[in-house]
Structure 1
């Protein structure tokens, strides 16, 4: 079976690696253009591109796949990509966190299968892992689905569930789901080869949307309940990193837990080796790992040595 793969971040690279190691022929990988990254803002290839190049797999990086794009360069690159796909011998396209919309012209060439990190129809959209943790969901999972024009509305082929632990962050849950999705897509294609991969329409009930994470969301509002802030700290770890302001200085909060206590929202109730306890709209939040600008992520005890909080509060 020949598989065209479309994906960009590490979540997708894990699946690409699994398909390659399982022996599927991959005549082409589609991934987003290189982006500036790091302190030097140097152009950096996506995780998918890095894996593909390391294993001799051809790569294409069109700005768009929409041939009707208003921008002439995007439209030209989309036409070139479309012509390349039409001329290519392949059986199925596998998509995982690609980041570009696949138009009907692409979907109509060959069957397209998506690896989605949620239990559809819950958390359709760009940030299903973040939103599941933020909402306090007790479980999530991976759905292998057929693709159509709607946003993650296609029929479901395989689904497996994963419990969300109280200690899970988006980072840790991402790794679990990436590994699960990689195993499931290999299973799905083998079943497809054997002629046995039925698809079930998604139910109309239970639809929710996982909107893309905006950096502004990561600012902790201490007038909110501590439980919601605790979930957000976990949901925004590692990106974009929850934070609060202390005397005008942005302090990132990487790990936290619920704590007893009450007071004016933002008031520091305790600051010791056990953590920094801050009053919230309801209850209190104990911050156990923090980071000041230009510094490293540190346990609360180490953080306090260089950033004492005497007389200061969070806002």
Structure 2
């Protein structure tokens, strides 16, 4: 029976942890990032993977880096035949990549080589990709550059947000890894090199990425809203505060200059853009809940307001 170590940290990685724990390989340990302050009281809390691994009674290692002799020795002591990595968040140095005989296998939330990097789910929605998916790849030193064993596609819904797409891809990733790993370990599946010419980079989301520029076309702005919901939340200035939009659609009609709210009702808040308008369907003020347009407009007057700086 193959000895397996799983490396992951986020909610996205939990379904894969659970699938591997129930699989035929022996899950001998879990790597996850160290505890960090969380919540209003900023108390130390384990990662979602660390918490679930403890509930499953698995051995958990939480090194701050894998570049120390101590971390490498602790990992080597587990004698893994393979290391499976999903959204771990720490770099695996070459000595760790070379440690297991079957190498390190990564589950990545994109159709590689499209959207290598830190934010593939958000960038796929932002770019207007009609489909996305997950890839199972052999890890190497480069950023998501290794050869790919298998991919699985799924369509992106017309109004689907990153917050909705993420758990769908997490389940898909778990299913694909659970199905593919036995084939890899048995030597029945060979990876195919990626085409570097087709590669795109999913850059980490910077704070300035979330501000809405109303001079841009409505189609681009609506995708930006959905890509950054729920975090960090696309926003625009309104009455000295940040008004966040969490779901939006583009419509062809437009009245008034970019940023002007020209219609507000139960069906949504229509905001003029450079081309067309953005229909905001869910909105949020600082400290408040995300509300559907109908609820948000109770006690708030947006009609005629000029949004943006």
Q: TM-score range by the shorter chain?
A: over 0.9
Q: 2:184 aligns with which of 185, 189, 192?
A: 192
Q: Secondary structure at the match of 2:33?
A: coil
Encode CA deviations 1:262-302: one digit per residue, 9 max, x unaligned.
Answer: 42111111112121111111110111111111211111121
Conservation of the 8 A alpha-carbon contact between 1:262 and 1:282: no
Q: 1:85 aligns with which of 54, 75, 78?
A: 75
In 2: Cα distance, 1:221 partner to 1:190 partner? 48
Conservation of the 8 A alpha-carbon contact between 1:253 and 1:290: yes
Q: How does 1:1-315 map to 2 (within 5 A)?
A: 1-66=2-67, 78-110=68-100, 111-259=103-251, 260-315=253-308
Cα distance, 1:170 vs structure 2: 0.8
Conservation of the 8 A alpha-carbon contact between 2:263 and 2:303: no
In 2: Cα distance, 1:63 partner to 1:45 partner? 13
In 2: Cα distance, 1:28 partner to 1:130 partner? 30
Cα distance, 1:216 vs structure 2: 2.2
Conservation of the 8 A alpha-carbon contact between 1:247 and 1:313: no
Q: Secondary structure at the match of 2:149?
A: strand
Find runs of 4+ consecutive structure 1 residues off by over 4 angstroms.
none
In 2: Cα distance, 1:86 partner to 1:131 partner? 36
Cα distance, 1:204 vs structure 2: 2.3
Deviates more, 1:50-59 or 1:194-203: 194-203
In 2: Cα distance, 1:275 partner to 1:241 partner? 18
* TM-score of the superposed pair, with normalisation by structure 1: 0.93
216 and 43 in structure 1: CA distance in 2 versus 1, 3 angstrom threshold: farther
In 2: Cα distance, 1:38 partner to 1:244 partner? 26
Task: Give the count of matched residue pairs.
Answer: 304
Gaps of 5+ in 1: 67-77
Deviates more, 1:273-282 or 1:33-42: 33-42
Gaps of 5+ in 2: none
